[in-house]
Structure 1
């Protein structure tokens, strides 16, 4: 097999790296841009790449192979064909039909999967991919990467005990390109300054546990919801999209033991009756320890909202633990809900919505 430099120069002819000024997704301006997707259009080079990557690895350690979606998928496929390691496919998002799985393919719990990535910068895409694979009971111990941009991603993953194998580094290929006359001294200097000054550092996001949130939570309804979540070990809120009292009560009976709250649309209950609908519903909420959330999406001036909330046939204030409300009328318009919880509506999923999705 030819040496790494010769192979890289073959790849370079496909336009996989460009030099100049490029705005990255992170907002940083970079003096180079890497896109390895053209490699998939040259089967001979793709096959060579697969073998270079495989030669770096202890293949007996792996049962499966998976490419980080989507640029690394052709590379992982080529490696699978060369090594006979079974390929599994990670989706960026689950299908809304069929099995709705995030991981496609044939696998069993306990197998070890080799993860393939085209370019590593911060490591964020890998850290998004790995939990979905591990959630299926598959182990990830090793990651093989074609190009390391040397901006902190490799080190970030190694701190989490993943072994990261890289074929090329940006410093290495810049040296080769300078030798071949493709890069001038001032371009090399800009790249070195960029790499020295713009390593991507991340503070790990620390999510508070429900117990920690409870310690700093002042609102009585929020405290109640957190206590339920802790006690029942669930944060599920089920939407009761039904139109009769019987359907509503049957649903509450069925899901009550497993939920933290039931979300109602009380104004679509065709046979609504306070005694026949609300009283049994409150009994079920008490029996199974869940809260009632009326998805009314209040959106009016304060006085009108107070009337809608407390009066009329539904008398929502008598039974709802918390409600949903638009915030277009301002903070003061929510004052009428001071004794219950409020979920603010910041965006909606309907087509053509004039609100921004939260």
Structure 2
């Protein structure tokens, strides 16, 4: 895997989606900054650049892309279109009607799934999805995310033995902001 950092992409993503104010994160943490990923995901050209960067981060042996509800789904769909890998749409909780499935799409048992997420802070949603998919027989070793805002040099998902491969880190976005 080569982590090729694109300063222009960092600057454009930062400009598009960094908000300042008072925010409560999914983890319950309070923050004065928030990365609203929908502000880049809604822009086709930016979404395309993030997806292109993700293609190079996918581990060999990936059989399925697991897009996490909601923000991971458009990214995974675009990565799927670029790679030909089928996509699984992973809910935050299993549907209570119809198929009652947590993951919509192909069968997961025995298959290697690379998760696709938008922003990771503590990795709560990714951790839940990893456990549920492993319980269903899937092999889950890696998550590729657009933005990793967890502390530098800390893998927030080490406890579930999951490698995090980010397109951009908070440090790279901060550097882009500081150079703006």
TM bin, normalised by shorter chain, reads 0.7 to 0.9
Aligned 8 A contact 1:154 1:164 in 2? no
Distance (whole Å) between structure 2 residues aligned to residue 40 and residue 120 of structure 1: 15
Scaled by the length of structure 1, the TM-score of the pair is 0.46
Instruction: Output the CA distance in 1 between the equivalents of 2:94 and 2:31.
Output: 33
Does structure 2 conserve the Cα–Cα contact (< 8 Å) formed by 1:120 and 1:154?
no
Q: Deviations over 1:243-292 (max 9, x none)?
A: xxxxxxxxxxxxxxxxxxxxxxxxxxxxxxxxxxxxxxxxxxxxxxxxxx
Conserved 8 A contact 1:67-1:116: yes
- Is the partner of 2:133 in helix, strand or coil? helix
**Preserved CA contact (<8 Å) 2:90 2:102:** yes
Aligned match of 2:77: 77
**Does the C-alpha gap of structure 1 residues 159 and 112 become closer, same or farther in structure 2, counting only changes over 3 Å?**
same
1:107 alignment partner in structure 2: 107
Taking a change above 3 Å as real, the CA distance of residues 106 and 54 of structure 1, as seen in their structure-2 partners, is: same
Structure 2 residue runs without a partner (length 5+): none
Q: Which residue of 2 aligns with 1:122?
A: 122
Distance, in Å, in 2 between the alignment partners of 1:25 and 1:152 is: 19
1:137/1:32 CA distance change after superposition, 3 Å: same
- The 3-state SS of whatever aligns with 1:18 is strand
Cα offset, 1:152, TM superposition: 8.1
Report which of the two structures shows the higher radius of gyration computed on alpha carbons: 1
Distance 2:48 2:114 in 1: 18
- Displacement after TM superposition at 1:36 (Å): 0.5
Evaluate the alpha carbon distance shift between residue 98 and residue 28 of structure 1 in structure 2; reply closer, same or farther with a 3 A threshold.
closer
1:68 is displaced (CA, Å) by 1.6
**Deviation of 1:149 (Å):** 1.3
The superposition leaves residues 11-53 of structure 1 with CA deviations (integer Å, 9 ceiling, x where unpaired) of: 2343x11123334345543221111012222112211111101
Report the equivalent of 2:11.
9
1:158-180 deviation digits (Å, cap 9, x = unpaired): 24322211121112211121111
Q: TM-score, normalised by structure 2?
A: 0.87
Secondary structure of the equivalent of 1:155? coil
Give SS of 1:156's match: coil
Structure 1 position 52 matched with structure 2 position 70: no
Q: Relative to 1, partners in 2 of residues 1:161 and 1:44: Cα closer, same or farther, differing over 3 Å?
A: same
RMSD: 2.3
**Larger strand percent:** 2
Alpha-carbon contact 2:152-2:171 (below 8 Å) kept:
no
Mapped partners of 1:139, 1:99: distance in 2: 22
CA 1:29–1:160 in 2, change beyond 3 Å: closer, same or farther? closer
Distance 2:37 2:144 in 1: 15
- Deviation, 1:72, is 1.1
Aligned residue-pair number: 177
Q: 1:24 to 1:92 in 2, by over 3 A?
A: closer
Question: Of the two structures, which has the highest relative contact order with CA contacts closer than 8 Å and spacing of 6 or more?
Answer: 2
Paired with 1:163 and 1:83, the residues of 2 have a C-alpha distance of 21
**How many Å separate the matches in 1 of 2:153 and 2:103?**
24
Partner of 2:22: 21
